[in-house]
Structure 1
Amino acid sequence: MTDSALRIDYDGRRFRPVSEDPEEAGRSARYHQQGDLLWGEFAGGDTRRGVLTGVCSADGVLDFAYCMVLGSGEVVSGRCHSEPSTLPDGRILLREWWERYGRDGDSGISYLEEVPAPATAPASEA
């Protein structure tokens, strides 16, 4: 369920799976947003390259399609519905209902957490 006061600009934010599955280890996505238009790219783990495109509603809910190429060369596509919530430290957690198409079609729920922004080094005092 979304936080009703949540207003999110996804532009430039990075997300990674909340999972101990080695195939998802190291996978991360960078999102871009312009108005309600959302797009992104992802890679890592067993994914050589992936892209997504869709829309973001006023409450931060995402609906998008995705396509990716796995390490095996298999091309996978599907759709996803993501609802955001806020973690105690202020980062975003996305609960994703996904559906994969094709001969190995599947569906499920996954979670993505926002990757913390790198800490900036303090300016040296001269």
Structure 2
Amino acid sequence: MSIDYDGRRFRALGGGDGVCAEYHQHGDLVWAVFEGGHVRRGTVTGICDERGVLRLAYTMVLESGEVIAGHSTNTPQRFGGALVLREVWERYGEQAAAGVSYLEEVCATEPTGAAR
């Protein structure tokens, strides 16, 4: 599944936490900025392969002042025509953790729920 991520926006499946990311792409290079909910600001940067799989590094600053860093592999899936990313992530440092999240694409005209 070849995907151009440039200009696409994603949020947690169901819009849960109010965090929304806007992606950009140039060739295989992909990056995004995200904020909302408990996240003051975050960024991801990485590579997109020919199947649309993203391999990303991320950093974010939370409202609490905590700084978090980690990496993820995001695999695109289609659910009823909607683009969803299955995100397998790992966080580094004192708050080390790992898990799986799902991100849904948000239409440009749809509210994101972002606090900013």
Instruction: Decide: shared fold, TM above 0.5.
Output: yes
Q: Percent identity?
A: 53
Indicate the SS of the match to 1:118: coil
Return the letter of the residue paired with 1:91.
A
Indicate the SS of the match to 1:107: strand
- The answer to whether the Cα contact below 8 Å between 1:43 and 1:49 also exists between their aligned partners in 2 is yes
- 1:74 corresponding residue in structure 2: 66
- 1:12 corresponding residue in structure 2: 7
Indicate the SS of the match to 1:58: coil
In the aligned structure 2, how far is the partner of 1:83 from the partner of 1:66?
A: 16
Q: How far is the alpha carbon of 1:7 from its aligned partner?
A: 1.6
In the aligned structure 1, how far is the partner of 2:44 from the partner of 2:2?
A: 21
Q: How far is the alpha carbon of 1:19 from its aligned partner?
A: 5.3
In the aligned structure 1, how far is the partner of 2:93 from the partner of 2:62?
A: 14
Gaps in structure 1 of 5+ consecutive residues: 1-5, 120-126
The higher-RCO structure (CA 8 Å, 6+ apart) is 2
Q: Which portions of structure 1, spanning 4 or more consecutive aligned residues, are displaced by more than 6 angstroms?
A: none
Deviations 1:12-69 (A, max 9, x none): 000000157xxx5211000000000000100011100000100000100000100000
- 1:56 corresponding residue in structure 2: 48
In the aligned structure 1, how far is the partner of 2:71 from the partner of 2:17?
A: 21
The root-mean-square deviation of aligned C-alpha atoms, in Å, is 1.4
CA separation of 1:75 and 1:108: change in aligned 2, threshold 3 A: same
- 1:39 corresponding residue in structure 2: 31
Give the aligned length: 110
In the aligned structure 2, how far is the partner of 1:91 from the partner of 1:39?
A: 21
Task: Provide TM-score, normalisation by structure 1.
Answer: 0.83
In the aligned structure 1, how far is the partner of 2:14 from the partner of 2:89?
A: 15
- 1:116 corresponding residue in structure 2: 107
Task: Provide TM-score, normalisation by structure 2.
Answer: 0.90
Gaps in structure 2 of 5+ consecutive residues: 111-116
The structure with the largest strand share of the pair is 2
Q: How far is the alpha carbon of 1:116 from its aligned partner?
A: 1.8
